[in-house]
Chains A and B, each alone.
Chain A
Amino acid sequence: MNIDIKYNPSYAMALVQLADGEQIQAEGGAMMSMSANVAIETHRATKKGGLLKSLKAAFLGGESFWMNTFTANGGAGEVALAPTLPGDVKLIQCAGTLFVQSSSYLAGSPALEIDTKFQGMKGFFSGESLFFLKVSGSGPLLISSYGGIEEIQVQGEIMVDTGHIVGFQEGLEYQVRKLGGWKSFFLGGEGLVCHFRGSGKLWVQSRNIPAFTKWLGEKLPPKQR
């Protein structure tokens, strides 16, 4: 398998070249174009662990319940994959476990196992954006961002605005908290941050989805109920 990221950072796509019989799994709706000899199979997000795990991934993880696996049949073939929002795509060679913010999962090797890690009460105030998909195994993983992606090698501690987290490696401990005092929390516009500790890689995005949707919601005509 050969994966080429093109048109980054603004409108990135992943061009995946599959050898005969090779497969790539992608979130629902990610396929942009493909060779005619590539077959698509639609299945639940988590193949192992049954229905409950998939439901969990869909409702808690905000990820589509259904995923697609693309297979090249009778020769090599290509699949072009793209996310919904403007932004970047990054290829990570997964080895071990990492956590990906639910809407940032674009595609990956079918060998990777996907599960939802429930945030618990510590993520209570931060809403849907703080659910992570737990991705384990070894193989290529494609993550997408709203805005550009910056990789931060954490050694010690760092605080990240919750809306800017794309993913992080398992070695990092994290805790959601408010930044500064209550005045900063309510008036400073920073809201909640994730406090990471330890050593590992962290990926952040240069734009914030909740901030964008709030701005957008004010511009769009309201729905009538």
Chain B
Amino acid sequence: MNHELLGKPDFPIVKVSLASGESMVAESGAMVAMSSSVSIKTEARGGILQAAKRSLLGGESFFVNTFTAGGAAGEVYFAPATTGDLEHVALNNTDLIMSRGAFVCSSPGVAVDSKWGGFKALFAGEGLFFLKVSGSGDVFFSSFGAIHKVAVNGEYIVDTGHIVAFEPSLTYGIDRVGGLKSLFLSGEGLVCRFRGTGTVWVQTRNQNSFAAWADQFRRVERSSSSDD
């Protein structure tokens, strides 16, 4: 299997070339185009319970699709839903922690599970869970905005809404930024304080801020129950 990332960094798409018998697992809706020699199988990977956990807690789809090249070699193109970058990481019996919804597709040797973020993550505005991606193979994940890769050595602070992924060699704590005044008024909310040595992938836009901004422009409709 080999891949080519096209259209980086603004609107990337990944082209995966599969040899006969090779396959690729992707989030539902991620497939853009494929050869006719490729077949698709939809399943709740790892069983109903595992799939429910991954979708309810990890923000991923309940069903995932497995694309397999049949009698001949074939190609599949995958793209994320958000306007933003697509990044590739090759795992070799290693783990990667991702924020909810960041996973796009991987080779079948990679397992995706939800990871309890601890009570501290409850306050992070990102939900209680991260995704834990482990095993060996290629993984593709997406961001909202560009991906800024930071090699942490010591301590580094990231706004919780900007985290895409990080290596498990880093420990993290949810912290407020500055004093109490900053906590409530700075508009920065809570931050993640990473410690140790490892890579953090940070996205240059924040979907929560964008959604809050867009929400002001919703039309207002009077509910039918109001007296007229």
Contacts and interface: CB of A to CB of B under 8 A. Distances in A.
Interface in B13-57: none
Contact of B204 (A7, A213, A217): A7
Contact of B178 (A39, A86, A225): A39
A6 interface: yes
A66 B186 contact: yes
Interface residues on B, range: 35 or more
B149 to A, nearest CB: 11
B169 interface: no
A11 B204 contact: yes
Given A32-B202, A223-B218, A225-B226, A6 B148 contact: yes
A29 to B, nearest CB: 4
B188 A68 contact: yes
B217 A217 contact: yes
B178 A41 contact: yes
B162 A66 contact: no
Interface residues on A, range: 35 or more
Nearest to B158: A33
Contacts of A223: 218-221
A50 to B, nearest CB: 17
Contacts of A28: 185-188
Given A42-B178, A82-B145, A10 B186 contact: no
Nearest to B10: A10
A31 interface: yes
A225 B220 contact: yes
B148 A7 contact: yes
A176 interface: no
A125 B107 CA distance: 56
Interface in A199-222: 213-214, 216-218, 220-222
Contact of A85 (B84, B187, B210): B210
Contacts of B185: 28, 42, 66
B148 A80 contact: yes
Interface in A48-107: 64, 66, 68, 80, 82, 84-86
A154 interface: no
B133 to A, nearest CB: 22
B10 A225 contact: no
A216 B178 CA distance: 35
A32 B189 CA distance: 11
Contact of B213 (A11, A12, A85, A225): A85
B182 A40 contact: yes
B68 to A, nearest CB: 34
A190 to B, nearest CB: 21
A34 interface: yes
Nearest to A64: B187
A36 B154 contact: yes
B219 A216 contact: no
Given A29-B187, A29-B188, A82 B205 contact: yes
Most interface-central of B157, B220, B226 (chain A CB within 10 A): B157
Contacts of B157: 33-36, 38
Nearest to B143: A11
Contact of A40 (B145, B162, B188, B204): B188
A13 B219 contact: no
Contacts of A218: 219
A224 interface: yes
Q: By CB atoms of chain B within 10 A, which of A84, A216, A221 has the most?
A: A84
A64 B212 CA distance: 14
Interface string B182-218: 1001111000010000001010111001100111011
Interface of A: 6-7, 10-13, 27-36, 38-42, 64, 66, 68, 80, 82, 84-86, 213-214, 216-218, 220-225
By Cβ-Cβ distance, the 5 closest A-B pairs, closest first, are A28-B187, A7-B146, A29-B187, A36-B155, A11-B145
Interface of B: 9-10, 83-85, 145-146, 148, 150, 154-159, 162, 177-179, 181-182, 185-188, 193, 200, 202, 204-206, 209-210, 213-215, 217-223, 226
